[in-house]
Amino acid sequence: MKLLLFSILSLLIIGNINAQNELWLDDGTVFEAQSIDIQLDSGYVHLINMKGKSKYFDTLDVFAVIQQLDTVFLYNNPDYPLERAKMFVKGQIDGKKYKNYYVYSGAFLTGVASPILLEVASMSAFWSPLISGAYVAVFSKVNTNSKFCDIPDNLKTNEDYIAGFKFSASRKKIMNNTIFSVAGLATGIVILTILED
């Protein structure tokens, strides 16, 4: 249900969806940022979030800082070896390369068709974002065994790598499905307006 609500809100709110930098905490929380400044001497990380507000984090709570494809580890968890943590981040970085144009095309076509079909069925096209949102929610999972996941054979059984890959690939899939759905909705509304004239 939360995923569906997120998808619908994403369709209705168009904002800056490409993060430039990310700060990862040890508990798995991820913060997107305009800029991140690591102050090791002072023991804190200064982050300016996507709204321009400052946040400060103790370096002991920070797992990694990712700026584009460069990763700085500030890692202090003795219960989770650094090599395993690095495999998770490697999977996370590789997952950002995930592409599935069949699903994205489906998101676009669903967006185009939903307002037109609702009007044909004598219903309001106002509800078409719900249909597109449902599509995004249903087709947001990533199957790492599919041909769309280019995972090296030696990493297919690495649980940490797979977990990181799924995390970022799912986020990318949701983002791209949302973009294609919004584009489809806009196209469908334009087509509907032309047909009604």
* Span 119-139, pLDDT tens digits: 888 887 778 888 888 888 888
Distance separating alpha carbons of residues 40 and 151, to the nearest angstrom: 35
Closest of 145, 151, 148 to residue 176, by C-alpha:
148
Q: Which of 34-38, 78-82, 105-109, 165-169 has the lowest mean pLDDT?
A: 78-82
Q: What is the mean pLDDT of the chain?
A: 80
Q: Which two tokens stand for residue 128?
A: 């078409």
Share of the chain above pLDDT 90, in %: 10
Beta carbons of 180 and 9 less than 8 angstroms apart: no
Residue 11, pLDDT score: 43
Residue with tokens 């040890």: 26
Q: What is the per-residue pLDDT across 22-74, written as a single tens digit (0 to 9) for each?
A: 888 877 688 888 888 888 888 899 988 888 899 999 888 888 888 766 777 77
Beta carbons of 129 and 54 less than 8 angstroms apart: no
Distance separating alpha carbons of residues 125 and 116, to the nearest angstrom: 7
Distance separating alpha carbons of residues 113 and 50, to the nearest angstrom: 34
